[in-house]
Structure 1
Amino acid sequence: MNDHRPAPDRPRTAGDASWEAEAAEVRRFWEGLGLPGLVDVHTHFMPERVLDKVWAYFDAQGDLTGGLEWPITYRRQEAERADVLRRFGVRAFTSMLYPHKPGMARWLNGWAADFAHRTPECLHTATLYPEPGVEAYVREAVEAGARVFKAHVQVGAYDPADELLRPAWGVLAEARIPVVIHCGSGPAPGKHTGPEPIARVLARHPGLRLIVAHMGMPEHEDFLSLAERYPEVRLDTTMAFTDFTEAFMPFPRGALPRLAGLGDRVLLGSDFPNIPYPYVHQLHALERLGLGAEWLRGVCHDNAAALFGV
């Protein structure tokens, strides 16, 4: 991938100066580590009317946000958001999208395939839901070139061990395609969140490449245990360790040696654009853990670059 591709020409906006200054700070971060850029496995791009509803939910401090005040820092049009990531030096990112009811997933997958086609830096993303036909459309997405899937147990309010999903997990395990899955009980618990349902999925499909979003917060140590038990389980850093999250779901400092030991299976995630602070804060939050430059290089680029071949 071209990590220095020029951004497309577009009208300047009032906020450009602030985020271009941040872009310089982000680039200093990864350049200081000797990296060619960043790989972010947890960024959101989805159809505009869907994203508008997501933003409205955050604005209303809905139940699934834990009732927290959650301003959207990068509330911009799609092309501008992709441009911001390019200027930050993010060499590869995802279009995390997810259904909350039956009948949405196949349509979302079609949109995501088109977005990946017109956005070279995007890892072709797809999703799924426990419904009749899920195995067929998951297989279709795989055959169409999907490189990563997104599953959202909290928003979808489904059991990831649902029998309807069993053949779909089998397809993904066989294809060795990673699945970024929001399955922890933060920022608010769901009916099927937590480590136990995921443990049942992994018992059936031990080779499934699950990437546990948000470090599995707040059940951090339980999900660390699953990663230690299953070598294909990974965790992403999305919102973990930041001031915002540490205020209500802190990572247990006694578990830092375990996190260091899993350094090759921890991947940078940000939740861009739906974050209530600047992107660079996620990077500084990782740095201040004090786990060293080699760990940071793996997390911020090398681990995901190896996993996805970018």
Structure 2
Amino acid sequence: MTLPEPPRADADVPRWLDQLGLDRLVDIHTHFLPERMLHKVWAYFDQAGTHYGRPWPIQYRSDEQTRLRALSDLGVGVFAPLVYPHKPGMAAWLNEWAVDFGTRTPGAVPTATLYPEPGIVDSLSTALDHGARCIKVHVQVGAFDPRDPLLAKAWGLIAEAQVPVVIHCGHGPLRGDYTGLDVFESVLREHPALVTVLAHSGMPEYGAALQLVERYPNVYLDTTMVGVAFTEDLMPLPEDWSERLADVPERIVLGSDFPNIPYAYAEQLDAIAGWAENERLGVPFLRRVLHDTPARLLAV
């Protein structure tokens, strides 16, 4: 099948999906939070010039219902609304909120998060019992060591449940005290059954991320902010990226970071479409990335 012309704008995405034979997108990496908390996140991005040395205008800065309609209009039929704490005492109530949001919101799946503190195993266990189908971990924002002994049983619980954990553990966009794929590999060695999605494909350690995919059969990469102009300026992909993906086409999943991206959603899809131009990838790769693999991981 010939590759259809990729979407150049959000309004063109449904046409592209139809030509690919897909009735919906499955996005494993979006963010929905309690409104007060989300506004604080947006305030942080408003100061991106200080944090990152460049502006980061939020593309989909609107009320919750408008954001949900935007996803629906894009053809995102299933999405994981991810939450994450930045200090102790947040994970338990965020888990309660995320499970409730994912249960009552069309298209969303219940999610959960963790933080190294007493009680986290009980909180995670409760969230899983109530249907959590994806766990978000943000090492850089949380500023914690994923090897912390307080998390050992939590990692084991997640591995046993075979629920995917979307973990931001790479050095991008800012290096943290405990970021680095080598640090997180210590967790994988202890829990090799852990279903892991490396957020942002481990940006900027793309090569190391692919090595983890090769070493561990349950490690995946998400496409969040990968290959778009905004990040290519700072953390460019290796020139042989698409050729290396051709060796592991079933281990790549759609992620977007909606709504906190500084460009249109269609730009991420355009980047993925560009990788599919490799003769070893094509339409079957796009169907896997955009729907089949994330749907399987989220048990849709």
Q: Does 1:295 align with 2:285?
A: yes
State the shift of 1:308 in Å.
Answer: 2.2
State the shift of 1:23 in Å.
Answer: 4.3
Quote the residue 1:198 is aligned against: 184
Q: How does 1:60-139 map to 2 (within 5 A)?
A: 60-61=47-48, 66-139=52-125
Query: Where does the alignment leave 5 or more consecutive residues of structure 2 unmatched?
Result: 1-7
Quote the residue 2:30 is aligned against: 43
CA distance in 2 between partners of 1:110 and 1:128 (Å): 12
Quote the residue 2:299 is aligned against: 309
Quote the residue 1:252 is aligned against: 238
Number of aligned positions between the proteins: 289
CA contact (8 A) 2:59 2:262 kept: yes
State the shift of 1:307 in Å.
Answer: 2.0
Quote the residue 2:215 is aligned against: 229
State the shift of 1:148 in Å.
Answer: 0.3
TM-score (norm. length: structure 1): 0.90
Q: Which amino acid aligns with 1:271?
A: D
Where do 4+ consecutive residues of structure 1 move more than 6 Å?
A: none
State the shift of 1:66 in Å.
Answer: 2.3
Q: Does 1:59 align with 2:49?
A: no
- The partner residue of 2:152 within 166, 169, 180 is 166
State the shift of 1:301 in Å.
Answer: 0.8
- The partner residue of 1:240 within 195, 214, 226 is 226
Q: Does 1:181 align with 2:167?
A: yes
CA distance in 1 between partners of 2:52 and 2:77 (Å): 32
State the shift of 1:89 in Å.
Answer: 1.0
Aligned-residue RMSD, C-alpha = 1.3
SS in 2 for 1:102: coil
Identity within the alignment, %: 53
State the shift of 1:22 in Å.
Answer: 4.4
Query: Where does the alignment leave 5 or more consecutive residues of structure 1 unmatched?
Result: 1-20
SS in 2 for 1:106: helix
TM-score (norm. length: structure 2): 0.93
Q: Which amino acid aligns with 1:33?
A: L
